[in-house]
Amino acid sequence: MKVGIVGLGLMGGSFALALKKEFKKRDERLKIVGLDHNMQHSLEALELNIVDKITDDIHDLLNLDLILLAIPVNAILKTLPALKDASQNTTIIDFGSTKEKIVNAIPKEIRPNFIAAHPMTGTEKSGPTAADRKLYRGKVIVLCDTEENDKEHLFFAKDLLRDIGMKIIKMDAKEHDRHAAFISHMPHAVSYALANSVLKQEQKREILALAGGGFKDMSRIAKSTPNMWIDIFAQNRENLLNATECFIQELQQFQEYVKQEDWESVREWILNANRLHEII
């Protein structure tokens, strides 16, 4: 099988390593061609044996068995027109964190073979050196608007994603973006806000000296690169505003309880939050 991966950072690199492991286990041949606008990333991916070959021309990928777009969401939108001449036999998968705008921008020529997906995984690390062949194992991947897909391309993509250990769920693209705002996009904004609230204090070093697991867990994703997240926030602006407004209301309610020294209401507020883990 011949695979083209656009974007050789954490997501693309991890996908390549996972595929290589799976194909080695099957004793089947696999060739991966990588493309990344960052030449250093391309060279690193080649040195780390993440890819077998690099190219700087997306047209070199248009007749492969699979193309994976593992690049920021705005970059996916800019890349879509260049894919309209892809072979009808080429399955295309995107790993963008927002889906509605991407789905709406897919050229009609490739809509049957284009699988709009969002793997619910990642770390704060970036670049080929962050690639982890276990990143996708046991994780959920959302496939959106699959009724638009040709069945052969959909079955091929689903089989491949299951082979690397992913759990598949299907969802409408608009619905996905609304839900992702709460479960992924807003938590990143909260993490940045938490980090900034501490950094603005005069004695920030003394405060951070006390940082335990809770603070580190909540602030970990504040290390995530701004360029990628600005694109995501912009594409999912309305849903993000709604999610952050809900969060602000909860904080304001908590703040009011504390002002009034209404500890029984704080207790009920916490107990209600505990119920989340009855669902998860």
Q: What are phi and psi of 70, to 5 degrees?
A: -115, 55
Write down the residue that tokens 């670049």 correspond to: 127
Helix, strand, coil shares of the chain, percent, nearest 5, are 60, 15, 30
Q: Is 28 helix (H, G, I), strand (E, B) or coil?
A: coil
Tell me how far CA of residue 92 lies from CA of 4, 89, 243, in angstroms. 9, 10, 31
Q: What fold, for 2-171? A: Rossmann fold (3.40.50)
What is the value of pTM for the model shown? Answer: 0.87
105 versus 24: which is more confidently predicted? Answer: 105
Per-residue pLDDT tens digits for 229-276: 899 999 999 999 999 999 999 999 999 999 999 999 999 999 999 888
Is the model's pLDDT at 212 over the cut of 80?
no
All residues at 6 or more sequence positions from 2 whose CB lies less than 8 Å from its CB, including other chains:
30, 31, 33, 64, 65, 66
- Terminal-residue alpha carbon distance, the chain: 37
Is there a contact between 174 and 181 (Cβ–Cβ < 8 Å)?
no
| Closest residue by Cα to residue 122 from 100, 97, 98 | 97
Over range 173-200, report the average pLDDT: 90
CATH number of the structural domain 176-279: 1.10.3660.10
Determine which of 19-33, 105-119, 194-208, 238-252 has the lowest per-residue pLDDT on average.
Answer: 194-208
Q: Which residues of the chain are in CATH 3.40.50.720 domains?
A: 2-171
Contact 261, 253 (CB under 8 A): no
Query: Quick one: pLDDT at residue 213?
Result: 67
**Residue 220's pLDDT is what?**
77
Q: For residue 227, is pLDDT > 70? A: yes
Nearest to 33 by CA among 74, 2, 72, 69: 2
pLDDT tens track for 84-124:
999 999 999 999 999 999 999 999 999 999 999 999 987 77
Exposed, middle or buried by CB within 10 Å (0-12, 13-18, 19+), for 197?
exposed
User: For the chain, how big is the Rg over CA atoms in Å?
Assistant: 21
pLDDT digits (tens, 9 = 90+) for 59-95: 999 999 999 999 999 999 999 999 999 999 999 999 9
- Domain limits, CATH 1.10.3660.10, in the chain: 176-279
Sheet strands side by side (includes 53-54)? 53-54, 31-35, 2-6, 66-69, 91-94, 114-119, 140-144, 167-171
Of 118, 159, 95, 167, which is closest to residue 138 (Cα–Cα)? 167
Pick the closest to residue 96 from 108, 85, 106, 111 (CA basis).
106
How much is the pLDDT for 195? Answer: 84
**pLDDT (tens digit per residue) in 134-168:** 999 999 999 999 999 999 999 999 999 999 999 99
